[in-house]
C-alpha cells in the first residue's frame, strides 16, 4: 500500500512542476497579473493564477489513482473525494475570476458559502465532536454541527488567503499543514485522508519550486482559497471519528494562518475598519519591518508552522495537557504579537487583561 501513496505523491509533484510554466504563460496571456502597490512587497508585474497548476495536478493525479485504488480494493470515502472536487472547483473558479478582474469581497464570500454548503449539505461532512479540555468528547449534531463546520471551512479558506503575502509563504505553510495531516492520518489509518493529503502535498511542492523567493509566479486567490478549502475539508474528514482530539488539533495544525487572521480581525474591529480591509500589519510584514530579509521571513514562519505541526501530533496523543499547552501557546503568541507590532496600543490593554486572567486561573501568577 505504501508504494501506492508514494506513487501518487510523485505523480502530483511531476504534474504540478510541468503544468506551472504553462499556467504562467496563460496568466500573462489573459492579463491575470499582480500589480505592485503600497501593500505589496514585489515591485514588478507578476503573473497570478498559479493555483490552477496546483488544482490541475491534484485533479489529474486523482483521476489516475482512483481507478487503481478501486481495482486493488482500497476503501475510499467517495463523498469526501467529490466534496473536495466539486467544492474546490467552485473555489478555484471564484479565485481565478478574482485573479483576473478582482471581484468584490461579498461575491467571494458568497462563493465560499456555496462551496462550504456543498460539503455540509450535499456530502454530509461535518464536525462530529467537540472536546472540552480535561473533559469528555461530546457528540454534536443538528444546527450547531452545521454552523461550526461552515464557520470552520470559510474561516480556514480565508486564513490561508490572508497569509499569501510573500513568495512561497502560503504554499509552504499549506504544505507543512498538509504534511502534518498526512502524518496524523497515517497514525489513525485513514486511507482517504492519506491519499488526498499525498496528492495535495505533491501538487503544492511542485508549484513551490516556481513560487519560492524570487518567485516566477504567484498562486493568486485561485491557489490560496483552494488550499484553504482543501485543508479545512481534509481536517474535518481526518478527525470526524477521532473524538479524543476533536477540532483542537486541526486548529493547532493551522496555527499560523489562524492566529494571523485572529490578530488581523481584532486590529480592524478596534480601529472600526471593515474586516475585509487589507493592511500591512500581518506577521510577515512585521518580520520584514524588524529587519529580516524576504527569504529569512518566509523560513522563520515555516519554522513556526513546523512547531505547530509537531505540537498537533503530540497533542493528538496526549489530550490531558491540552488546556495547559493551549494556554501557554496563546500567551506566547500574544506576547510575540505585541513585540512584533501585530497588536497596536489600543489592543494591548484588552490582550493584557486576557493574559492576566489566564495566568491567574492557571496559578502562574498570584
Task: Write the pLDDT tens digit of every residue in 100-147.
Answer: 988 888 899 999 999 999 999 999 898 876 665 545 566 777 888 899
Average pLDDT, the chain: 80
d(CA 119, CA 55): 18
pLDDT of residue 84: 95
List the grid coordinates of 167: 513568495
Q: Please give the residue that has the higher pLDDT: either 292 or 121.
A: 121
Q: At residue 324, does pLDDT exceed 60?
A: no
pLDDT of residue 244: 42
pLDDT of residue 127: 82
pLDDT of residue 303: 87
pLDDT of residue 162: 83
HEC string of the chain equals CHHHHHHHHHHHHHHHHHHHHHHHHHHHHHCCEECCCCCCCCCCCEECCCHHHHHHHHHHHHHHHHHHHHHCCCCCCHHHHHHHHHHHHHHHHHHHHHHHHCCCHHHHHHHHHHHHHHHHHHCCCCCCEEECCCCCEEECCHHHHHHHHHHHHHHHHHHHHHCCCCCCHHHHHHHHHHHHHHHHHHHHCCHHHHHHHHHHHHHHHHHHHHHCCCCCCCCHHHHHHHHHHHHHHHHHHHCCCCCCCCCHHHHHHCHHHHHHHHHHHHHHHHCCCCCCCCCCCCHHHHHHHCCCCHHHHHHHHHHHHHHHHHHHHHHCCCHHHHHHHHHHHHHHHHHHHHHHCCCCHHHHHHHHHHHHHHHHHCCCCC
**Annotated binding-site residue numbers for Mg(2+):** 161, 221
Average pLDDT over residues 223-252: 76
d(CA 111, CA 172): 25
Read off the pLDDT band of 224 (50, 70, 90).
Answer: very high
Read off the pLDDT band of 53 (50, 70, 90).
Answer: very high
Neighbours of 147 (CB within 10 A): 14
pLDDT of residue 69: 92
Q: Please give the residue that has the higher pLDDT: either 284 or 99.
A: 99
pLDDT of residue 353: 46
Read off the pLDDT band of 12 (50, 70, 90).
Answer: very high
List the grid coordinates of 316: 493528538
Read off the pLDDT band of 332 (50, 70, 90).
Answer: low
pTM for the model = 0.82
Task: Write the pLDDT tens digit of every residue in 134-187.
Answer: 455 667 778 888 998 999 999 999 989 888 878 899 999 999 999 999 998 998
**Annotated binding-site residue numbers:** 161, 221
Query: Residue 241 in contact with residue 137, Cβ under 8 Å?
Result: no
- Distance of alpha carbon 212 from its chain centroid, rounded? 17
d(CA 231, CA 224): 11
Amino acid at each position: 500500500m505504501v508504494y501506492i501513496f508514494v506513487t501518487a505523491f510523485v505523480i502530483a509533484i511531476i504534474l504540478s512542476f510541468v503544468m506551472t510554466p504553462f499556467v504562467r504563460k496563460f496568466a500573462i496571456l489573459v492579463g491575470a497579473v499582480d500589480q505592485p502597490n503600497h501593500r505589496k512587497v514585489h515591485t514588478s508585474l507578476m503573473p497570478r493564477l498559479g493555483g490552477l497548476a496546483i488544482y490541475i495536478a491534484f485533479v489529474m493525479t486523482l483521476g489516475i489513482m482512483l481507478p487503481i485504488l478501486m481495482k486493488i480494493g482500497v476503501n475510499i470515502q467517495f463523498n469526501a473525494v467529490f466534496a473536495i472536487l466539486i467544492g474546490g472547483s467552485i473555489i478555484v473558479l471564484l479565485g481565478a475570476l478574482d485573479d483576473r478582474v478582482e471581484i468584490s469581497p461579498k461575491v467571494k464570500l458568497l462563493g465560499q458559502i456555496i462551496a462550504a454548503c456543498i460539503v455540509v449539505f450535499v456530502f454530509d461532512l461535518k464536525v462530529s465532536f467537540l472536546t472540552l479540555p480535561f473533559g469528555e468528547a461530546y457528540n454534536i449534531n443538528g444546527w450547531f454541527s452545521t454552523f461550526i463546520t461552515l464557520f470552520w471551512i470559510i474561516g480556514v479558506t480565508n486564513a490561508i488567503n490572508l497569509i499569501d503575502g510573500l513568495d512561497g509563504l502560503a504554499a509552504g505553510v499549506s504544505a507543512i499543514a498538509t504534511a502534518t495531516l498526512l502524518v496524523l492520518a497515517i497514525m489513525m489509518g485513514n486511507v482517504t485522508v492519506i491519499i488526498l493529503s499525498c496528492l495535495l502535498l505533491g501538487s503544492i511542492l511542485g508549484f513551490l519550486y516556481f513560487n519560492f523567493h524570487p518567485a516566477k509566479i504567484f498562486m493568486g486567490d485561485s491557489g490560496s482559497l483552494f488550499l484553504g478549502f482543501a485543508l479545512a475539508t481534509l481536517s474535518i474528514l481526518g478527525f470526524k471519528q477521532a473524538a479524543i482530539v476533536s477540532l483542537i488539533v486541526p486548529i493547532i495544525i493551522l496555527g499560523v494562518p489562524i492566529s494571523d487572521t485572529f490578530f488581523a480581525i481584532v486590529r480592524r474591529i478596534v480601529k472600526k475598519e471593515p474586516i475585509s480591509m487589507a493592511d500591512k500589519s500581518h506577521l510577515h510584514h512585521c518580520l520584514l519591518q524588524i529587519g529580516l530579509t524576504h527569504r529569512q521571513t518566509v523560513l522563520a514562519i515555516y519554522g513556526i508552522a513546523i512547531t505547530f505541526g509537531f505540537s498537533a501530533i503530540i497533542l493528538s496523543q496526549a489530550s490531558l495537557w491540552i488546556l495547559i499547552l493551549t494556554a501557554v501557546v496563546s500567551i506566547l503568541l500574544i506576547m510575540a504579537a505585541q513585540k512584533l507590532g501585530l497588536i497596536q496600543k489600543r489592543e494591548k490593554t484588552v490582550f493584557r487583561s486576557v493574559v492576566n486572567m489566564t495566568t491567574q486561573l492557571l496559578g502562574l501568577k498570584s
